[in-house]
Amino acid sequence: MTSTSEGRRAKAKATRAPIVAGGHTRIRPFNTRDTYPEQNLDNDLCQAVVAGNTVYVRGQIGQNLDTSESVGIGDAEAQAEQAMANITTLLEEAGSRIEHLVKLTIYLIDPRYREAVYRTVGRWTKGVHPISTGLVVSALARPEWLCEIDAVAVIPEEAQA
């Protein structure tokens, strides 16, 4: 492991702690200058926001949450698998679970990826029955990303106590 990778992992863990801003809990805050060093950006964002009993999850792609490294390059199914694993992790960190999903929005850069991506999402959401919207877009933030999935879930009352 290189010192750059070690530094990136240490920074990811340091910024993993939730913060409260505007009265809402921000899960895994980050700055785009660190996430997209090749771009001239400086935006404070987070991976999920807990507002009341609702969890809003940022669009997830084929990227490791801890290292920001892309995974499944060229493989929409593998990217969807990583995105759903990320969503599951973020929901748990926010106090929710995958079975409390309310809505998914799925973005594809090619309609031919639909079957593989939806089959993957379907395995993760078996028996959950969230609503879902699917869109085909011309591109995502990085050319290697083939699909992106964002989510909205609730925190059940028993978990809020």
pTM exceeding the 0.75 threshold for the entire prediction: yes
Per-residue pLDDT tens over the stretch 98-149: 999 999 999 999 999 999 999 999 999 999 999 999 999 999 999 999 999 9
Residue 90 identity (one-letter amino acid): L
Helix (H) or strand (E) run with residue 45 in it: strand 44-51
Distance CA 28, CA 155 (A): 17
| DSSP secondary structure, 50-119, as one string | EETTEEEEEEE-SB-TTT--B-STT-HHHHHHHHHHHHHHHHHHHT--GGGEEEEEEEESSGGGHHHHHH
Total Cβ atoms within 10 A of residue 141:
13
Per-residue pLDDT tens over the stretch 5-17: 454 445 545 557 9
Angle (CA) 98-89-43 rounded to 5° is 115
